[in-house]
Structure 1
């Protein structure tokens, strides 16, 4: 059974996430401060850690740095929405992903599933250089995109956005998440930029070829979904 550690000092939030994870079939343990979290990682093998940054005593960034001294266990940071510096520092310190509070539990669960898939030895998510969806293929090494065998030139931002959605296939990514990951933490242009670039991609990849690639989830964001999802 997949085992997840929650390091979170807000006991009600930790309990809520614990119950949702248990409902999904995960084994869960909790720590309410950074030192206890480090001790538990050292004492017992976990498959993934959910780590709050704002912890009493030893903060989450320092906990992450100490974990990374001995382990490459997947870590998802739980961050405050306005903690830009913490997000940057956390990713630079070895976090695999982050999610901002308040978050939808469905998005957190999807991120956990995606990260666990990536960490499976020999998994396609870990090793694949070419991602394929219907008649679209994306080569991450050559940074080329083909639709029905035709090369479609994309700008850097367009390619990065398409790659992000392909990597997170069947996961609805919020506009805020896309904005942070593609445009950066200090971008001040607003989430409208995401909508504009989705339109650019549709104009290049869908309309000329009569294909349907991108799904819009009203009020949330965008995804590339398999037909049966």
Structure 2
């Protein structure tokens, strides 16, 4: 940890209701205590768990608005917990990984984690990441476009958060759906990775490999041959473009 737990009074019970419920899952009691303390002082309702089964049990009692989840947990690791949570319902997840554990980070993003933070980290930065991910997920959930959007055999309905290709529903994570919707709203235009990170994730900073991993994951779900993509084309040195062959 780079910063000590801040001093100061806890929020008044008569103040504004907390901006959301966050489940913090880490087997290191010091990390869990510091992270929970910062989130509590930021106004969040915080639940804590020190292993996978406890995290799932906590989520069953109080479904969280977001989960801060350590990858390295005893027994049931964070990746398994993330999969189990996603089977129960959509929930934003921020993964905590040890510095240099790139394979875990990439795998976490591929199974649907919305963000990751490497240890050691600044708790204040983590709170900012929580705010950013929650703000973006709520904005996406509140969008109600007047019509569906269809192209290249794909139809997306942002109001229902549903995507269909050739009559078959696509199993997209929250962020994959938002990425596809954004690209389809700008067909034929090269969208830079920085633009996608800002518009889809709501981040003004972050690792651009997050975008790359999600594009790769999305291609695996919408392309006939992900190795030779025809819908989401790479524009070298820029980013990606949504093309609609035959339209």
Task: Please name the residue that 2:69 is paired with.
Answer: 51
- Contact 1:51/1:75 (CA < 8 Å) preserved in 2? yes
Report the alpha carbon displacement of residue 3 of structure 1 after superposing the two structures with TM: 0.9
Alignment RMSD: 3.0
Tell me how far apart the structure 2 counterparts of residues 101 and 10 of structure 1 sit (CA, whole Å).
Answer: 12
Distance in 1, Cα, partners of 2:87 & 2:211: 28
What is the Cα deviation at residue 21 of structure 1?
A: 0.5
2:210 to 181, 204, 207: 181
Match of 2:85 in 1: 67
Unaligned runs of 5+ in 1: 129-138, 146-152, 185-196, 201-229
Shift of the alpha carbon at 1:62? 0.8
SS of the residue corresponding to residue 12 of structure 1 reads helix
User: Could you report, residue by residue, the CA deviation over 1:32-88 in whole angstroms, capped at 9, with x for unpaired residues?
Assistant: 111111111112221111010000111111111111111211111111121122122
Q: Determine helix, strand or coil for the equivalent of 1:51.
A: strand
Equivalences for residues 1-229 of structure 1 within 5 A: 1=18, 2-120=20-138, 121-123=141-143, 140-141=183-184, 143=186, 159-167=192-200, 171-174=203-206, 177-178=207-208, 180-182=209-211
| Cα displacement (A) at 1:142 | 5.2
CA contact (8 A) 2:51 2:73 kept: yes
Give, in angstroms, the shift of residue 181 of structure 1: 2.4
C-alpha distance in 2 between matches for 1:25 and 1:70: 26
Could you tell me how far apart the structure 2 residues matched to 1:4 and 1:26 are? Answer: 7
Distance 1:22 1:55 in 2: 23
Residues 117, 123 of structure 1: 8 Å contact kept? no
Q: 1:26 to 1:78 in 2, by over 3 A?
A: same
Larger relative contact order (CA 8 Å, sep ≥ 6): 2
TM-score by length of 1: 0.61
Question: Structure 1 residue runs of 4+, over 6 Å off?
Answer: none
Q: 1:106 to 1:166 in 2, by over 3 A?
A: farther
Distance in 2 (alpha carbons) for counterparts of 1:92 and 1:142 = 23
- What is the count of residue pairs matched by the alignment? 163
Q: What stretches of structure 2 of length at least 5 have no aligned partner?
A: 1-17, 145-157, 160-181, 214-236, 239-247
Asked if structure 1 preserves the Cα contact closer than 8 Å seen for 2:109 and 2:210, the reply is no
